[in-house]
């Protein structure tokens, strides 16, 4: 994908605390970062992620699945709303819903998701808990281009963290999230400034032909 706006226009989707969103908002305060958050969307009300956006003066929207007669209608409404902000990149940052076919078709190669595990290990809703349960010694985070599967898309960036003997899910997830935020900020900035080329499963920063 190539970025047409300068700074690049980001729409960020959240479902919870929004610490990844906050890391992006903070990074975007520096003009040299090359991106700005033009909207924040959520699938639920009353979450800190939306409050963070409001404090930063960023427009927000909420589309709940329960407001629509079908999952497809919700998906189309999400796609329409996101598209209205004309994003160069859509970032799922702790957004706990799978995008459907319509959404993916509207933002091909432009929808990325951060996941709290070293994919392809431990996809799904409980990456950190599943890694801990499995007894791995190294955990981490992955940023990938969303495809129709569950956490199966081409990998953009990964960060590893150690699993400590005394870890519980909370302590491990918090350690992962520190690394995850750094990974997200670095990768989104590079995508904004350089673009992203996806060839099969291989991903590199840059633009086609360069």
Stretch that binds ligand GRF, among 60-68, 111-119, 151-159, 163-171 (CB under 6 A): 111-119
Place of tokens 């995008």: 99
Stretch that binds ligand GRF, among 14-22, 59-67, 148-156, 191-199 (CB under 6 A): 14-22
Q: Return d(Cα 122, Cα 28) in angstroms, integer.
A: 31
Of 115, 126, 134, 173, which is the active-site residue? 115
115 included as an active-site residue: yes
Q: Are 50 and 40 in contact (CB under 8 A)?
A: yes
Does 180 participate in binding ligand GRF (rule CB under 6 A)? yes
Compute how many other C-beta atoms are within 10 angstroms of the C-beta atom of residue 84.
Answer: 11
Least distance to ligand GRF from the beta carbon of 54, Å? 15
Q: Return d(Cα 62, Cα 4) in angstroms, integer.
A: 26
- How many binding residues for ligand GRF (CB under 6 A)? 15
Query: Per the structure block, which two tokens stand in for 173?
Result: 């997830």
HSE-CB of 89 using CA atoms within 13 angstroms: 31
Least distance to ligand GRF from the beta carbon of 14, Å? 6
Q: Known catalytic residues?
A: 115
Residues near ligand GRF (CB under 6 A) are: 14, 16-21, 49, 93-94, 114-116, 177, 180
């Amino acid at each position: 994908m190539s970025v047409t706006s300068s700074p690049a226009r980001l729409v960020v989707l959240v479902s919870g605390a929004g610490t990844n969103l906050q890391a992006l908002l903070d990074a975007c305060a520096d003009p040299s970062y090359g991106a700005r958050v033009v909207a924040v969307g959520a699938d639920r009300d009353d979450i800190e992620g939306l409050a963070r956006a409001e404090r930063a003066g960023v427009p927000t929207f909420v589309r709940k699945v329960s407001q629509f007669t079908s999952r497809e209608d919700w998906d189309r409404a999400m796609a329409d709303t996101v598209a209205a902000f004309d994003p160069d990149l859509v970032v799922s940052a702790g957004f706990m819903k799978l995008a459907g076919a319509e959404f993916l078709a509207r933002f091909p190669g432009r929808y990325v998701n951060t996941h709290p595990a070293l994919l392809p290990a431990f996809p799904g809703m409980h990456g950190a808990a599943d890694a801990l349960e499995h007894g791995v010694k190294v955990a981490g985070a992955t940023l990938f281009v969303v495809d129709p599967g569950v956490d199966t898309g081409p990998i953009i960036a990964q960060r590893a963290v150690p699993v400590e003997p005394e870890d519980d899910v909370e302590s491990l997830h918090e350690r992962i999230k520190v690394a995850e935020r750094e990974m997200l900020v670095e990768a989104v900035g590079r995508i904004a400034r350089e673009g992203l080329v996806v060839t099969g499963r291989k991903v590199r920063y840059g633009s086609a032909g360069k």
